[in-house]
Structure 1
Amino acid sequence: MYLKEFPVEFQRALPILQQIEAHGYEAYFVGGSVRDFLLGKPIADVDIATSAFPAEIKEIFHKTIDTGIKHGTVTVMMDSVGYEVTTFRTETGYQDFRRPDHVTFVRSLKQDLQRRDFTINALAVRADGLVIDEYHGLDDLAAQEIRAVGNADERFHEDALRMMRAVRFASQLGFQITADTYNSLLHNAPLLQKIAVERIHTEFVKMMLSKNWRIGWQQFVKSGLIKQTPFFDQLDSVFPTFLSGQQPLLDEAAIWVLLAESLQLSREQLTQLLHAWKSANEVIEDSLSTLAFSRQLKAEAWPTAIQLYRIDANIIERLATVWPLLSWRADFTKLAIMYQRLPIKARHELQLNGADLIDKLNLRPGPIIGELLDEAEAAVVTGQLKNQSDILLQWATNQLDK
C-alpha cells in the first residue's frame, strides 16, 4: 500500500531520504513513527533506516553527529533538528539478554526488519509513500494485536526487556498480545531479572501512565513478570486487578501511592520499594508525602486549613485519580477549592520576613525571628490575620509588647 499523504513530521525529514536515495542507497522511515501515524496517533520521534553505512552517510551530509556509530546510528542535522539515521543491521550473541555481542551492517531492509521486536514496529515507509510490510504488521495493526517478529522465544532471548515492552504496548494501544507471543512471555518471564531495573522502571511507568493501563497491569501480573522485579519478588501478597474506575493516573507518584494503598504498604515499605526501583528523589518525596496525606484523609473526617497548607495542590489532584480505583470516596473538588482559597500557599508568600523584623522592629537575629514568622504564617493561613505587611508588622510589635 501507499500512503496518500505524509504527516508533517515525515515531510520535514523527507529531504534526508531523498538525498540518500540520490546517492544510490535505500532509505525508509521505520518503527514507531510509522506505527503511530497509521494508528492516527501523535508521532514522537522520526527514525530512518538506510542501506548506506555510517561513513557513507557522513559523506552525504555535512552536519552529522556520531550518536551511536558502533551500532550504525548517525544523527543528521537538518534545520536545527536532529534525525537518527541507522544502517540496516543484523545482531547476534545476546549473552546479557539485552545487547548484541556483534552487530553486522547489511544492505537488506528485510534483514533489518527481522531483528525488530513486534510486527507492528517492523513497518517501513519509502520516500514515495510505499509501505514495506515484510511480517504482516498491517494485519496485526488492523486486528489490534501484538505479535513478535518471527520466533517469540528468540526475540525475548535477544532482549528480555521486550517482554515489558509487550505489556507496555498492550497498555498504550489497548491491543491484545497474541497467544503464541504471550505463551513465550510466560515461559521466558524469569529472563527479566537479567535486565537493569532502570530500564524496567521506564517501561513500567510508561505502561501505568497509559490510557489503558489496566490491560498492561493485568498482563504484568498474570504473566508473572511482576514477580521478576525488585521488591515485588519478595512480597507475599495477592496483587490487585483494579477493575473499578476509568480515569488515568496523574503521574508516577500516583502509581506508587496506588500500589502502596492497595497492598497496604507502610511508609517504610514504600520507601524500600521506591529505592529498589531506583526512583528519582523527587518521585520518592512526592510519593511519600501523598501517601501520608492519603492516610490522614482516610483516618480523619476533614483536613484543617493548616493541614491543607502543608501539602501542595498536586497531592489533591493525584489522590483524585487514586482513590476511585480503591473504591474510596472523598470530595476532592471541594478540597481543591479550599486549597485554592488559602490566603497563601507557601512561606515565601507571607508579607513578612526576617529582614523586616530586624530592620523595622530592631530585632537581633535569633530564635525569636523564627517563632514570630511561624505564628504569623499560621495566623494568616487560618484567617486570623490578613497577609498585609503593615498589619503583620503591627501584630509582631504587639506580640513583642506582651
Structure 2
Amino acid sequence: MPAQVVHVLNVLSQAGYEAFLVGGCVRDTLLGRSVHDYDVATNAHPEAVQGLFTHVIPTGIGHGTVTVTDGHFPVEVTTYRIEADYSDGRHPDKVAYAERLSDDLLRRDFTINAVAMDAAGKLVDPLNGQRDLHRRLIRAVGDPSERFSEDGLRIIRALRFAAQLGFTIETSTHRAMTFEVLRLQAVSMERVGQELLKIAAGNWFVVLPDLALGPYLHSTKQPLDRLQRAFAKVHRIVSSCPELGWERWRKIFGSDTDALRAFPPAQWPGTPLFRPNLAAIALWMAHMTSQSTITALFRSLAWQKSFVSTAVETARLLRARPWTWSEFRWREALVESDLSALYTACALADWLKPTDRHTSCRIRLFDVFQETPLRSVRELAVSGHQLAAFGLVGPQIGIAIRKLVHAIISEKVENSEDDLRRFLFHA
C-alpha cells in the first residue's frame, strides 16, 4: 500500500472517523494484481475531509467525493452513501450519506467490488466477495435485476470484469443481464467503447459467446450489429479450432512470452509492439465487411483516431495473408506500413496458423527488418526537398520516391544520394 494511501487512512482514523479501502483496489490486491487507483470510503463528510488535508480537490462533492492530492498521489475519498431512484437508468436521482460501511457496500455493483480493507489489512466482507473471488465468479450484489435496472452500464461492466479477470458470470446475474438488456439504451456509446477496449485487453474469449450470440451489442443506443456479426465469425473460427484460444493468445500477446524475448523492444525503437487490445480489435475488424462500416462504427465509440487507424491497417495487413508473401513483398510492407500494425498482423497470423521457426511471420518480419536495405521512406538518402531541387514538381516527387523505394528494396541501386540521382535521371 503506497505511503500516501496509508497516510490518508491514518489521518481519518486519528481524527475519529472510519476509513477503508474499497472497490477495485481491494479486489486486485486480493488477486495479486497490480493496483493503480485507490478509493477510500469513510463516514467523514466531505467538509470534514477537506479540513483534514492541505490539498483537496472537490472532484465529485455533490456525490460525497473529494480527491486528496497530498504528496502528488491522488486518493479519492468518498463518504458512505446510499442511493435512490435511477430514473435515467444510469445515475441516482438522490444520494444520501450513510453512517455504516455495510450500507455503502450494499449499493455496489458486484460482490467482488464490495470488499473493504482497513490500513492494517483487515477485511470487511458482508457479501462474501472473497468467496466469489476464490470461485472466480462475477455475482451482482443483492437482486441482480435491480442492480442492472439502476445502471445499464453494469451489464457491459460484468462482461468486462469477466474478461479482465477470466471469471465466469454467475447464473442468476447472467440471466438478469439478458432480462434487463434494454437498459443499455441509456448508456452512452463512448462508455460502451471504453468497456470494449478493456474487454479487448483481457481474456475476451471468456465472453466471446456473449458478444457473438447474446443480445448485448444489438441493444446499445446505436446497435452494433456489424460488430456482433464479426464476433460471430470469430466465434465460429475459435469453436472449430480448439487450439485457438486464450492460452495460445496469451503466449503470443502476453507481456512475458517467448515472443518478447525473441524480439527485444530495444531492437524495435519507438514501437509499441505489445498491445493486446490492438490485436483483438484488429482481429475483429478483419472480419467486418467494409472500410466505411468500420469507420462509422468506431467513430460512434469515440476511440482515438490514431488507435483506430493502426487497427484498421493491422486488419488490412492480416487479410493480405502475410504468410504467403515473397521477399520483395515483405520488404515493401516494411517500408509502407506502420511497424506496430505490421508486427501485430504477423502475430495474429501466427496465432491463426500453427507455426514453427521457419514459418513464423514474426520471425520472418524480424529477419527482413535486420536484412533489408531500406526500412522506411525516412531512410531515403534524398528528401522531397532535394527532389524538388532536382527539378521535379508536384506528383512527380511522389512517383519518384516510390520508384526509388522499389529500386532499393529490389537491390537495383544503392541508397546514396549520387546513386539515386543517377538512377532517376540516367537510367
Question: CA contact under 8 A between 2:105 and 2:114: conserved in structure 1?
Answer: yes
* Map of 2:42 onto structure 1: 50
* Map of 1:225 onto structure 2: 216
SS at the partner of 1:84? strand
* Map of 1:61 onto structure 2: 53
Deviations 1:334-375 (A, max 9, x none): 1342244333333222222244456xxx64573455554443
2:280 is aligned with 1:255: yes
Question: CA contact under 8 A between 1:123 and 1:137: conserved in structure 2?
Answer: yes
How far is the alpha carbon of 1:85 from its aligned partner?
0.8
* Map of 1:279 onto structure 2: 303
- Aligned pairs (5 A) from 1:316-331: 316-323=342-349, 326=352, 331=360
Q: Please give the alpha-carbon distance, in whole angstroms, between the structure 2 residues aligned to 1:318 and 1:380.
A: 25
* Map of 1:4 onto structure 2: none
1:160 to 129, 148, 152: 152
SS at the partner of 1:91? strand
Q: Please give the alpha-carbon distance, in whole angstroms, between the structure 1 residues aligned to 2:350 and 2:330.
A: 23
- Aligned pairs (5 A) from 1:107-256: 107-210=99-202, 212-229=203-220, 230-233=222-225, 237=229, 238-241=232-235, 242-243=238-239, 244-245=244-245, 246-248=248-250, 250-256=275-281
> What amino acid sits opposite 1:220 in the alignment?
L
Question: CA contact under 8 A between 1:52 and 1:107: conserved in structure 2?
Answer: no
Question: CA contact under 8 A between 1:309 and 1:339: conserved in structure 2?
Answer: no
Q: Please give the alpha-carbon distance, in whole angstroms, between the structure 1 residues aligned to 2:384 and 2:331.
A: 24
* Map of 2:393 onto structure 1: 366
Question: CA contact under 8 A between 1:147 and 1:181: conserved in structure 2?
Answer: yes
> What amino acid sits opposite 2:340 in the alignment?
N
> What amino acid sits opposite 2:413 in the alignment?
L
Structure 1 residues 231 and 316: CA distance shift in structure 2, 3 A: farther
1:87 to 79, 82, 85: 79
Q: Please give the alpha-carbon distance, in whole angstroms, between the structure 2 residues aligned to 1:326 and 1:275.
A: 28
How far is the alpha carbon of 1:397 from its aligned partner?
4.6
Deviations 1:288-332 (A, max 9, x none): 222322232279654352243211322232223434565587731
* Map of 1:265 onto structure 2: 289
Q: Please give the alpha-carbon distance, in whole angstroms, between the structure 1 residues aligned to 2:313 and 2:398.
A: 24
SS at the partner of 2:16? coil
Q: Please give the alpha-carbon distance, in whole angstroms, between the structure 1 residues aligned to 2:293 and 2:322.
A: 19
Unaligned runs of 5+ in 1: 1-7
Question: CA contact under 8 A between 1:231 and 1:276: conserved in structure 2?
Answer: no
Q: Please give the alpha-carbon distance, in whole angstroms, between the structure 1 residues aligned to 2:208 and 2:228.
A: 18
SS at the partner of 2:89? coil
Structure 1 residues 128 and 351: CA distance shift in structure 2, 3 A: same
Question: CA contact under 8 A between 2:40 and 2:78: conserved in structure 1?
Answer: yes
SS at the partner of 1:65? strand
* Map of 1:5 onto structure 2: none
Question: CA contact under 8 A between 2:190 and 2:300: conserved in structure 1?
Answer: no
Question: CA contact under 8 A between 2:20 and 2:119: conserved in structure 1?
Answer: yes
SS at the partner of 1:213? coil
2:331 to 298, 305, 315: 305
Task: Report % sequence identity.
Answer: 30
* Map of 2:373 onto structure 1: 343
Give the TM-score taking structure 1 as reference length: 0.87
Unaligned runs of 5+ in 2: 254-274
SS at the partner of 1:86? strand
Deviations 1:191-244 (A, max 9, x none): 11221111111111211211x220022233444213224453367954542342
Structure 1 residues 76 and 398: CA distance shift in structure 2, 3 A: closer
2:402 is aligned with 1:377: no
Q: Please give the alpha-carbon distance, in whole angstroms, between the structure 1 residues aligned to 2:227 and 2:387.
A: 54
* Map of 2:24 onto structure 1: 32
Structure 1 residues 300 and 266: CA distance shift in structure 2, 3 A: farther
> Which of 331-340 and 228-237 deviates more?
228-237
Question: CA contact under 8 A between 2:314 and 2:345: conserved in structure 1?
Answer: yes
Q: Please give the alpha-carbon distance, in whole angstroms, between the structure 2 residues aligned to 1:318 and 1:171.
A: 21
Q: Please give the alpha-carbon distance, in whole angstroms, between the structure 2 residues aligned to 1:271 and 1:195.
A: 21
> Which of 65-74 and 238-247 deviates more?
238-247
How far is the alpha carbon of 1:163 from its aligned partner?
1.1
Structure 1 residues 40 and 346: CA distance shift in structure 2, 3 A: same
> What amino acid sits opposite 2:415 in the alignment?
N
| RMSD of aligned Cα (Å) | 2.6
Q: Please give the alpha-carbon distance, in whole angstroms, between the structure 2 residues aligned to 1:219 and 1:235.
A: 13
Give the number of aligned pairs: 386
Max radius of gyration: which structure? 1
* Map of 2:65 onto structure 1: 73
Structure 1 residues 88 and 123: CA distance shift in structure 2, 3 A: same
Question: CA contact under 8 A between 1:125 and 1:131: conserved in structure 2?
Answer: yes
